[in-house]
Chains A and B, each alone.
Chain A
Amino acid sequence: MLSRVAENIYWMARYIERTENTARLIMVNTNLLLDLPKACQLGWQPIIEILGCEAHYLENNQDYDERTVLKYLISDTSGANSIYNSLRQAKENARTIRDIIPREAWESINNLFNTAKSSVQSGYGRKGRYQYMQNIILGTQAITGLLSGTMLHDMGYDFLKMGRNLERADMTTRIIDVRSADLLPEYEEMTPFDNIQWMSVLKSLSGYQMYRRNMQERVSRPFVLRFLLKEKKFPRSFFHSLLEVKYCLKHLPRNEEAIELLNVVGKKVLRADQAILQQDELHRFIDELQLGLADIHQVISGTYFRHPAMG
């Protein structure tokens, strides 16, 4: 498989996953705002923070009112990780690998981009938003399903899954980081709402129901964090994503360095108990995990996408 093609598959998958995650975040935050009392409105700033684009956002916008943020998250074209941009990038990457991905998958990506673009207005207000986000999530899930069901499960598919899972792991850590840092200290006494917030964290990862089945515990901080970071069987947990990446790497040549790095990060997350309990500790810990993900990306990119003999 061509290195350039592998890289394009990898990024296509990352951008599809990013699209889905952004839509999930928006949907859950919308719901959360409806549940929380007016007094402790959190607004939309945390979402911008989760996506790590405060600086870019503030270049063109002054405050975090709902419509402005939503416009930015859905349709900003100037380089942010908006749904529009992520889908466009997914499409551009897919376009260069049309000889690799099944035709139906290309058609679906193309189609989702077109629909997302043409109905973008409906996502700004609360009325049409649920439907809009639902379409995006279902659309990306359909693409993921099509790829899994029709694409050759060869090396290309390994790069696809690595891209998806690294992106997913990254998003899980971001959600944990911002949500836990931002929500808890101020409203510690508001237990019912505390639970709502942790539920919303789970829901933004579609993990609420799975948490219930798997943990058989009430929703509370340590259990939620353990579930999201360490649960091997939950497909959006950090550890699960790492395992998926490792599993893919095992099919690839010259995988030693990347696997070693994965093992280090994996061991780290399994020893997370102390960090889970303390907020400051947690923040530092999440930082380390994110750096670990960035390193894994660097090694994969250096091993498979570049060659010293070529410019």
Chain B
Amino acid sequence: MAIRWGSYKVKGFYDELIRAAGKPRYASAALCEYLRNLSDREIEEYKVAAEMAIQLMGVTFTVYSEQEGSIDRAWPFDIIPRVIPKSDWMKIETGLKQRVVALNRFIDDLYHDQQIVKDGIFPASLLQNSVNFRKQCIGIDPPGRIWAHICGSDLVRDKDGTMYVLEDNLRVPSGVSYMLENRLIMKRVFTELFENLNILPVDDYPSQLFDMLVALSPRAIEKPEIVVLTPGIYNSAYFEHAYLAQQMGAELVEGRDLMVDKDDCVYMLTVEGLSRVDVIYRRVDDMFLDPEVFNPESTLGVAGLMRAWKAGNVALANAPGSGVADDKVVYSYVPEIIRYYLNEEPQIGNVPTYKCINSEEREYVLEHIAELVIKPANESGGYGMLIGPQATQKEREHFRKLIRKDPRNYIGQPLLTLSTAPTLVGNRVEPRHLDLRPFILSGPDSVQVTTGGLTRVALRKGSTVVNSSQGGGSKDTWIVDDEDL
């Protein structure tokens, strides 16, 4: 017997599977019992089977390194799943829907009347300095006035078990393909558990995504042409672009496959000749979308795309300019944003956040920098941040200077003690910190949330950095029907 829950340490953390030494949580009891009965050899076999599956399926992400250029790496996968009872999940789901509905109202408002600024809820200065506000989008009405069609929100759980939203990714969030692949791997490996437990399926996502995109089509035709626009095979998320296109039966295109003709419609070059495109699920950043309007050097985009979009001849998901709400300072206003547009209390909270733009909060941050995590407004992937308690005196001083120089660009948050889950280390289990990224789809008619999401786990002992580029891995996420148990 390799896994002994009695010696698994949960002290000081909220553990997703284990309540107290030797005592699994209600919804994970069957899983833990199953794992406890595995021999060393079986565990090894399952690990190898999962690794083989990853190799075989070619599940990779691309990393750049100066020596080797771009290379594909298999993303480390831990075979012990993370379990969330369905009753808990339903509450989280409601909270996420509420949040994204409010964010879409907010974005639409910013590109029209800016009522929220006029009403003094959101500071005008923040908007002026926002690097993701696109004045080219002012006055545009995308279908259903939805801007952020696909949102990936990162959730973390603190040591008391409370779930918080850590950030919202409204530009081109990635990771959903790993969520889908992880499930496939688990079904290959842990077949018996799927037979005996009521684990809610996740594989609906590609069809939901497809239906949502179809609903955006400017032409009311039976089969609108949907394409996925990728920067190409050297993008770190290329695997996902190809995967989603394949799962939806949509064309995977690059900028060079598309052109905007004199009629302001988008066409793709096919072996038959040019063919009209209706909806573009774009995985290219705003700035590279259209060299006529944004970065003129871009070869990833399509000249004239913004023209076609403004004319209503093509739908773009996410709409350009959605990133304005994907900013760690804007994030700190989300509770107010929800109250303002929906007249409701947020159902799922933000991590307490100090906005350096407010002088009082800034002073607090400067003073308590050693206890806080400092994040720049517009970085992702865990880059450019300071983890106060782990930083040196010199690093802290450096960040104090940065904050004083550009307060609008920084927020401070207490260092949460992220929850843990048992993770295989050799043939034993040890707690490792994790987060959760669910994906929220917003179309003109409905809002849908993935069942669970992508669980990312920091594989290094004690680390809380879960990003794939920095030593993170992933786990399958099980939403287990607890009424059934």
Contacts and interface: CB of A to CB of B under 8 A. Distances in A.
Interface string B231-269: 001000000001101100011111011010000000011
Categorize the interface residue count of chain A: 20 to 34
A106 interface: yes
Contacts of B252: 5, 96, 98-99
A96 B233 contact: yes
Nearest to A303: B271
Interface string A211-228: 000000000000000000
Contacts of B57: 103, 107
A2 B251 contact: yes
Contacts of A111: 55-56
Contact of A3 (B233, B246, B257): B257
B483 interface: no
B22 interface: no
A98 B242 contact: yes
Given A2-B253, A310-B256, A310-B259, A98 B271 contact: no
A3 B270 contact: yes
B269 A310 contact: yes
A309 B262 CA distance: 12
B270 A2 contact: yes
B445 interface: no
A98 B270 contact: no
Interface in A87-105: 92, 95-96, 98-100, 103
B233 A95 contact: yes
A106 B253 CA distance: 19
Interface in A293-310: 304, 307, 309-310
A131 interface: no
Contacts, number: 68
B360 interface: no
Nearest to B245: A99
A110 interface: yes
B6 interface: no
B138 interface: no
Interface residues of B, number: 24
A5 B270 CA distance: 9
Given A107-B57, A309-B259, A2 B245 contact: no
Contacts of B271: 1-3, 6, 155, 159, 252-253, 304
Contacts of A4: 254, 256-257, 269
Contacts of B256: 4, 310-311
B222 interface: no
A236 B246 CA distance: 33
Interface string A46-61: 0000000000000000
A124 to B, nearest CB: 25
A141 interface: no
B425 interface: no
B58 interface: yes
A114 interface: yes
B195 interface: no
A2 B56 contact: no
Nearest to B251: A2
Contact of A307 (B246, B251, B269): B269
B426 to A, nearest CB: 24
A99 B41 CA distance: 37
Nearest to A111: B56
Interface in A64-79: none
B272 interface: yes
Nearest to A96: B233
A103 B273 CA distance: 28
B274 interface: yes
A309 B274 contact: yes
Contact of B58 (A99, A110, A309): A110
Contacts of A107: 56-58
Given A2-B271, A5-B251, A96-B242, 20 more contacts: A1-B272, A2-B257, A3-B257, A3-B270, A4-B257, A4-B269, A5-B252, A95-B233, A95-B242, A98-B58, A98-B243, A99-B245, A99-B246, A106-B58, A107-B56, A107-B58, A110-B58, A111-B56, A252-B271, A309-B259
29 contacts: A1-B270, A1-B271, A2-B270, A2-B271, A3-B257, A3-B269, A4-B254, A4-B257, A5-B252, A95-B58, A98-B242, A98-B246, A98-B252, A99-B246, A99-B250, A103-B57, A103-B246, A107-B58, A110-B55, A110-B56, A110-B58, A111-B55, A111-B56, A155-B271, A252-B271, A253-B271, A307-B269, A309-B259, A309-B274
